[in-house]
Structure 1
């Protein structure tokens, strides 16, 4: 009996002297990327814009461009289409593409863009959640030119993990939109 009582008291003392575990606060990965540096992308296309020097450019047919960010495993896909009495259809297609992400997105914020001086009008979509694309946009002059773009990561969409890269690339897309001019 004393032996049992002795072991019981010792075990209580051992358990009682341990510190309580505290839950860790929620946090994002601390990923840091080089400060962006921009130069103007000039080509044979009907438009030009400033792009991040860290983006690798590949040009496809009909002025479709890919801005690849290898360190982030991400690409900004840019598609050019001429306007030929089909502006309404182009706008519907661009909006439809964005809103197809509502299945996984927790929020989609529309931010209109207007640059009267360069005649650039468009919309920037910020997509939150585990959607395949975190940002999309379109710009047009409403007469001849229509450009769409979107970010895609070459990893499974996990918003917490790609958040720092998504924020970085959203700033690059905004810069692209703000510096676009038609030729």
Structure 2
């Protein structure tokens, strides 16, 4: 009888525990505005198309910042004239890219060549929890050099911001493909 009581008590005690089930993965349901581009409204030694729903901040030395307020991100663009220092400018740009190797999982380069427009450059996709996930540089190799970096104003969590990175990457590609030197 005592054994039966212990068995019932044990079964009762064990049956009161909640069954733990794994939670399904949650996916963000992000929606982005439809893309529509306009030409950069500032007078610079270059021009290119930018997304209409961005804010352009005019900075000194022909530099600028293209802000994405809804995404808490910006593309920071620096301009430098080429004065027989193209090798130095390219080395400096690549050093800035590879500073991210500490946090980056992978750095994937993609080269661009448009000989008709004299636009030559590279785009680097940086995966992992790095500070910048896209960096690029473009030049005509004789007079103009532009470097750009994408930054988010949040703690880097690559999985969370990946959809926004892909959204802005399309705009960076549009920028490079529509770039014209003056």
In 2, Cα distance between the equivalents of 1:63 and 1:111? Answer: 25
Indicate the SS of the match to 2:48.
strand
Deviating beyond 6 angstroms after TM superposition, the runs of 4 or more aligned structure 1 residues are: none
What's 1:175 paired with?
174
Structure 2 gap ranges (5+): none
Q: In structure 1, the residue corresponding to 2:132 is in which secondary structure? A: coil
Of 7, 10, 13, 2:12 maps to 10
Pair 1:57-2:43 in alignment? no
DSSP 3-state at the match of 1:81: strand
Partner of 1:22: 22
Aligned counterpart, 1:162: 161
- TM (normalized to structure 1)? 0.91
- CA 1:80–1:11 in 2, change beyond 3 Å: closer, same or farther? same
Residues 89-168 of structure 1: pairs in structure 2 closer than 5 A: 89-168=88-167
Contact 1:139 1:177 in 2 (8 A): yes
Which stretch has the larger CA shift, 30-39 or 89-98? Answer: 30-39
1:23 Cα shift?
5.0
Residues 21 and 84 (structure 1 numbering): CA distance in 2 closer, same or farther, change over 3 Å? same
Q: Superposition pairs for residues 51-90 of structure 1, below 5 Å?
A: 51-90=50-89
